[in-house]
Structure formats: C-alpha cells, structure tokens
Amino acid sequence: MHLLVRWLLAPLARLLYRPDVHGADNVPRHGPVIIASNHRAAVDTAVIALTAGRPVSFLGKAEYFVGQSLKGRALAAFLSALGYVPVDRTNAKAGLAALHAARTVLEADGAFAIYPEGTRSLDGRLHRGHTGVATLALDTGAVVVPVALVGTERVQPVGARFPRLRRVTVRYGEPLDFSRYDGLGGSNVIRRAVTDEIMYAIASLSEQEYVDKYHQRPAA
C-alpha cells in the first residue's frame, strides 16, 4: 500500500492539483523535525504528506485502524501508508497518548506534523496555539518548520464530502531551533513563548489575521 501511495496516488494528486510549493527545502531531509501548520480543511494532511519531501507522520483516530472487515483493513493500510499513527482520543489521557505517539516518531528521527490550533479554523483566522507543539520541541530537541496552507478550504469546504479541483499554495518557513531553552521545558512560561513564536511564524507565512485566543467550534 505504501508503494501504491508513493508511486501512483501521490504523483496523480500532484498532477491534478498542481500545488504551488515554496520553501520545501527548509524541511530537513534527516533527523527529527516538527512540521507545524495552520489548519483550514480535511485535506491539509494529504497536502503536507505530498509536498514535504520526506515521510511525515500524523495523529489518526484509533477506531480507524481496528476494523476487521476487508474495507476496514484496507482503510487501516491506506492511512498507515499516508503516515497516520493511531491514537485513542476517547479517554481522559488522550492528550498524553498523542504526545507519546509524536515523541516516539521524533525520537526515531522522524518527521511529525501537528496543527497547534488543535482544530480547523472555521472563520479563516489563525488562532492561539496549544502548547503541545512546544512540549514536543523542547523534550526532543527537534526543530520546528512552520507551514502555511493557502486555499485548501476551497478544495474541501466544510460539509463537502469530496475534494474539488482547486490549486493550493504551500509555504514552508525556515526551521526554528529552540535549543536555547534546553532544560527549561518544564516551564509554562517558556512553553507559551515557544508556541507563540511558532504561531507568529505561521501567521507571517499564511498572512491570516491572528487571534490570541483558542478556536472554539460552534455548539452542535
């Protein structure tokens, strides 16, 4: 399945959508790296996977990986090929499980992508980031590459079941090195400062309006 995604589906997607990619060379080809992106649409993960220039891991709901039917096993294999790491998000320790899964990838010198806002932005603005991204960077020593995705919300607007043919722009910023904070990862103030620096870098790349408060989805 991995070869199918890499050699057939990925080139086909790039041919159809022709993403306008800037700064992909900023993603280190080796060693641990955190790719921190804004989040506009469900297709964002696929866009990063297709343009980062190296395999990237993402968090995925554990229930997507447990189906025993042919369809369930095919879905699990496809998501694994895309780089998804299963995490149980239904219990009280979901946040810790997510950090553990991400840390495992980074400690193996892998690349891990995260959306610091925590959820898709429904108003088009860039919202305050959660400090999990800082925790990972400070605990593992990984550099952080800020990323801006522009136009993915037109590919798959909220409520749309299938992607549309729209061109997107991807901007990879210069890696951010937080080694100056070695040994200070336990400080809430430092984690907040690191997260804010990452969010400001994303805002500069995306040209979105920045809102210094967490994004809240409307009540159902």
Report the predicted TM-score, pTM, of the whole model to 2 decimal places. 0.87
Q: Could you read off the pLDDT tens digit of each residue along the chain, which spans 220 residues?
A: 454 555 556 677 777 778 899 999 999 999 999 999 999 998 898 899 889 999 999 987 666 566 677 766 665 566 666 677 777 766 656 678 888 889 999 999 999 999 999 889 999 999 999 999 999 999 999 999 999 999 999 998 877 777 888 889 999 999 999 999 999 999 999 999 999 999 999 999 999 999 999 987 665 5
Does residue 60 contact residue 86 with C-beta atoms inside 8 Å? yes
Looking up tokens 């990972």 gives 136
